[in-house]
Amino acid sequence: MAEQEYITVQEALTAVLNGISVLPAEEVPLLEALGRVLAEPVVARDSLPPFANSSMDGYALRAADLADVTTENPATLRVLADIAAGSVPNVTITSGTAARIMTGAPLPPGADAVVPVEDTNESWRNVERPLPDYIQINRQVAANDYVRHIGEDIEAGQVVLQAGHVLRPQEVGTLAALGVSRVPVIRRPQVGVLATGDELIPVDAPLQPGKIRNSNGYAQIAQVMALGAVPISLGIARDTEEDVRNKLQKGLDAGVDLFISSAGVSVGAYDIVKTVLQDGGNVNFWRVRMRPGKPLAYGQYSDVPYLGLPGNPVSAMVSFERFARAAILKMAGHQQLDRPKIKVILQEEIHSDGRESYIRGVVSKQGDNYVATTTGGQGSHMMTSLVKANALLIVPEGVTYVPVDGNLTAWMIDWPESVF
């Protein structure tokens, strides 16, 4: 493999995202759309509310009938009917009459307002209590009071959600209210996850001399799942080109949209992932001026985008966080590819080597400021540096020292309560 210049994190990210396309749409049952990206605008077939209805348990009436009412001088109206939620009124309210009405029940013709039951002489009720013949009302209302009008929330024909909208529980509820039971969303990316290394044994195997458990396989599958994408585990490949190729073939057979492997991309004697990639596809770059995560291969294997993460567990996770995360989110149709980023004030000094560095840190709120400390030992094999962290503190390219009280950008991997 020819020597290659190091590129910056931004150049690497641009190259990765240029090679990633948004996946096609599919129609899924409403609940399966949660967390996914709408592929087409949703136009309301009906209005919401679909009919004028009461917002209170009370009495539907004509507001003009109460024009002279005071607490001492209540109006007495004849009660024509009881309108339960779900029923259709068969009376017309005329001057001097009212109908008992429940929250959500249709407003009867002739009525233009509702008086809450608390403002009548019948404030105590249950199902056994018969409908009164007359009701005393001890307050005035304006026309439209306690009435929810047709189309007040959404009008039929209106575009309710644009393509690209990320569907949260509130969108799911809105779509349900509109009778949308199947939703066009971008397909979930299928991500093949491969661990490579002769030293790796499965997590449930007893430790053996010289061996370590395949933690990356699990960490990267978990990272894929946390994004709402579908992991396809390709297991552990030995450090031979043949075994790596065989495992990748399983991914091609499964139709993966992206390959993510860990280890075997550096300059060690057995680092064969780049060779496999070059022979079976293309290597765009394999060295990034980043810490941790300097060896990071990006290319295509048989036309499928391929990210070869470093082997060290922290480097693998941070590189995933910076590059694979954005690639997967872009495939899934998301526009927001970064985590929330905030300015923080450092509470301890940081030394770096001039590469763009992602320091594991803890961000918390102090008065009006966000302050940050590091999680201590930053060795790229130290998983606990990530376990303790809620943020990655970004030391920019070219900066080798940040003093106490210096400013950095924090890439928030979590928003724990201590941050607010």
Question: Should residue 272 be labelled a site residue for Mg ion when binding is judged by CB under 5 A?
Answer: no
Chain centroid offset of residue 398 CA = 33
Question: Should residue 215 be labelled a site residue for ligand AMP when binding is judged by CB under 6 A?
Answer: yes
Query: Contacts with Mg ion in 181-210 (CB under 5 A)?
Result: 197
Distance, in Å, from the CA atom of 23 to the CA atom of 301, rounded to the nearest integer, reads: 18
Min separation Cβ 376 and ligand AMP, Å: 20
> How many residues of this chain interact with Mg ion, rule: CB under 5 A?
2
Between helices 241-254 and 273-280, what is the axis angle to 10°? 50
Q: What phi, psi does 33 have (nearest 5°)?
A: -85, -10
> Which residue's Cβ lies closest to ligand AMP?
311
Question: Should residue 263 be labelled a site residue for ligand AMP when binding is judged by CB under 6 A?
Answer: yes
Question: Should residue 263 be labelled a site residue for Mg ion when binding is judged by CB under 5 A?
Answer: yes
Torsion of CA 321, 325, 326, 328, to 10 degrees: 170
Instruction: Name the E strands within 252-301.
Output: 258-262, 281-287, 290-291, 295-301
Distance, in Å, from the CA atom of 412 to the CA atom of 418, rounded to the nearest integer, reads: 13
Question: Should residue 292 be labelled a site residue for ligand AMP when binding is judged by CB under 6 A?
Answer: no
Distance, in Å, from the CA atom of 25 to the CA atom of 334, rounded to the nearest integer, reads: 13
Query: Contacts with ligand AMP in 297-356 (CB under 6 A)?
Result: 310-313
Distance, in Å, from the CA atom of 98 to the CA atom of 254, rounded to the nearest integer, reads: 67
Q: For Mg ion, which is the closer residue by CB, 40 or 198?
A: 198
Q: For ligand AMP, which is the closer residue by CB, 200 or 288?
A: 200
Q: For ligand AMP, which is the closer residue by CB, 319 or 357?
A: 319
Question: Should residue 116 be labelled a site residue for ligand AMP when binding is judged by CB under 6 A?
Answer: no
Min separation Cβ 359 and ligand AMP, Å: 20
Q: Which of 174, 190, 233, 266 is close enough to bind ligand AMP by CB under 6 A? A: 266
Q: Is 171 helix (H, G, I), strand (E, B) or coil?
A: helix
Min separation Cβ 207 and ligand AMP, Å: 13
CB-based contacts of 72, cutoff 8 Å, min separation 6: none
Question: Should residue 192 be labelled a site residue for ligand AMP when binding is judged by CB under 6 A?
Answer: no
Q: Look at residues 393, 410, 417 and name the one whose alpha carbon lies nearest to residue 340.
A: 410
- Residue 91 interacts with which of ligand AMP, Mg ion, none, CB < 5 to 8 Å by class: none
- Interface positions with ligand AMP (CB under 6 A): 195, 197, 199-200, 212, 214-217, 262-264, 266, 268, 310-313
